[in-house]
């Protein structure tokens, strides 16, 4: 669906994207993460043509975005809905008219039966059928974002771009919005691109993710691949400090439970099979789209470290000495 190759973007002398290459599959929920200033939102705006770029390529269904004429770009942008952190609703309009706004801009009448049905169906999809006449000031933050999602879908796009769409919401409301995005993807067959700095968003709904730092793409893969065994850059981004609060004795072995290697009995079996004693010092298990994955830190006697590592390797468990 989206193919980005060696993308480079500058604002005057400031480089904001450098040598970015990634692809986003049709029907995928894809995450783009990184600290503020990493280039996430600029990358999103290059995808939908709101920003041009000096180097490389951005192709949507094989179309080079910067090579399109104004008319062709507008036609492509109609295939891409976008939602933002601050909702961008018009305060003077009610829910129905806010959702209908892109239709008006496209020269379509929201009162035509088929268009009105489209608007009402989307408002029902986002769970706001009882708020048709409500103004934004009468809505909660979560309800405003649901209106924004319905508005982004009203022209029947194939791609939904989300720029920090849940950052202004509390965790309970965020959970509901994420469930709604998954439902929309499943029911409408959309490709969803999510820019966020919230790890819960990425872990819950994203099938693959890119991590940006200082305008560069540092790592790409499944969220569990990035976060269960984080590199130094991602560890710093997550604020993880494994070294703290562990006593300076024995040997430490860290196990990684990935989707290809998770066996809840492996630790107790190892104690019996090897007849060794050890302590469990730290566990970090997290939910990735309904699958519990993570890591475990054991403390063993120095004489037992080698056989413990070999046992785990033979069982298909990724493990390393040190913490």
Spell 126-137 as b/e; 16+ CB within 10 A means b: bebeebeebbbe
Whether the CB-CB separation of 307 and 276 falls below 8 Å is answered with yes
Q: What is the pLDDT of residue 225?
A: 81
Query: Going residue by residue through the chain (323 aa), what tens digit of pLDDT does each one get?
Result: 899 999 999 998 899 999 999 999 999 999 999 888 889 999 999 999 999 999 999 999 999 999 999 999 999 999 999 998 888 899 999 999 999 999 999 999 999 999 999 999 999 999 999 999 999 999 999 999 999 999 999 999 999 999 988 887 888 888 899 999 999 999 999 999 999 988 888 888 999 999 999 999 999 998 888 887 778 888 888 776 555 556 678 888 888 876 655 555 788 888 889 988 888 887 777 777 777 777 788 889 989 999 999 998 888 888 888 75
Q: Which residues contact 210 (CB under 8 A, 6 or more apart)?
A: 22, 30, 31, 32, 33, 217, 219, 220
Tokens of 205: 């709904």
| Residue from 170, 158, 166, 128 nearest 63 by CA | 158
Please name the helix (run of DSSP H) or strand (run of DSSP E) that holds residue 185, with its range, or none. helix 171-188
Tokens of 274: 């090897």
Q: What is the pLDDT of residue 245?
A: 59
Q: What is the pLDDT of residue 143?
A: 94
Tokens of 68: 């399109």
Whether the CB-CB separation of 40 and 212 falls below 8 Å is answered with yes
| Model pTM above 0.75 | yes
CA distances to 53, 265, 299, 313 from 307, rounded to whole Å, are 54, 18, 13, 10
Taking the C-alpha atoms of residue 252 and residue 255, their distance in angstroms, rounded to an integer, is 10
Q: What is the pLDDT of residue 35?
A: 85
Q: What is the pLDDT of residue 207?
A: 94
Q: What is the largest CA-CA distance in the chain?
A: 79
Q: What is the pLDDT of residue 191?
A: 96
CA distances to 111, 194, 228, 257, 287 from 203, rounded to whole Å, are 40, 12, 11, 15, 7
Q: Quick check: helix, strand or coil at residue 6?
A: strand
Q: What is the pLDDT of residue 323?
A: 59
DSSP state of 161: E
Please name the helix (run of DSSP H) or strand (run of DSSP E) that holds residue 46, with its range, or none. helix 40-47
Beta carbons within 10 angstroms of residue 236's beta carbon: 13
Which residue reads 């979560």 in tokens? 142
Q: What is the pLDDT of residue 18?
A: 95
């Amino acid at each position: 669906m989206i193919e980005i190759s060696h993308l480079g973007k500058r604002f005057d002398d400031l480089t904001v994207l450098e040598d970015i290459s990634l692809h986003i599959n049709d029907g995928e929920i894809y995450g783009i993460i990184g600290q503020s200033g990493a280039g996430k939102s600029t990358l999103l705006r290059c995808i939908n043509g709101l920003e041009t770029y000096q180097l490389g390529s951005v192709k949507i269904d094989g179309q080079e975005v910067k090579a399109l004429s104004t008319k062709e770009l507008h036609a492509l942008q109609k295939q891409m809905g976008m939602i933002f952190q601050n909702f961008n609703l018009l305060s003077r309009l009610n829910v129905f008219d806010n959702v209908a706004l892109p239709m008006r801009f496209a020269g379509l009448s929201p009162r035509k039966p088929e268009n009105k049905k489209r608007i009402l169906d989307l408002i029902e999809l986002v769970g706001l059928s009882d708020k048709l006449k409500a103004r934004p000031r009468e809505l909660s933050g979560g309800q405003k974002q649901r209106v924004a999602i319905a508005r982004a879908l009203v022209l029947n796009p194939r791609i939904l771009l989300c720029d920090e769409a849940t950052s202004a919401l509390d965790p309970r409301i965020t959970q509901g919005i994420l469930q709604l995005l998954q439902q929309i993807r499943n029911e409408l067959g959309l490709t969803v691109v999510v820019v966020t700095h919230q790890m819960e968003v990425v872990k819950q709904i994203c099938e693959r993710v890119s991590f940006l730092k200082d305008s560069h793409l540092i790592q790409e893969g499944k969220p569990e691949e990035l976060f269960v065994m984080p590199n130094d850059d991602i560890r710093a981004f997550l604020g993880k400090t494994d070294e703290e609060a562990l006593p300076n004795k024995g040997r430490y072995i860290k196990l990684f439970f990935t989707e290809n290697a998770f066996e809840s009995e492996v630790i107790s079996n190892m104690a019996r099979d090897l007849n060794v004693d050890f302590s469990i010092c730290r566990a970090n298990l997290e939910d990735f789209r309904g699958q519990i994955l993570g890591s475990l830190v054991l403390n063993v006697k120095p004489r037992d470290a080698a056989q413990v590592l070999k046992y785990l390797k033979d069982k298909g468990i990724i493990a390393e000495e040190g913490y």
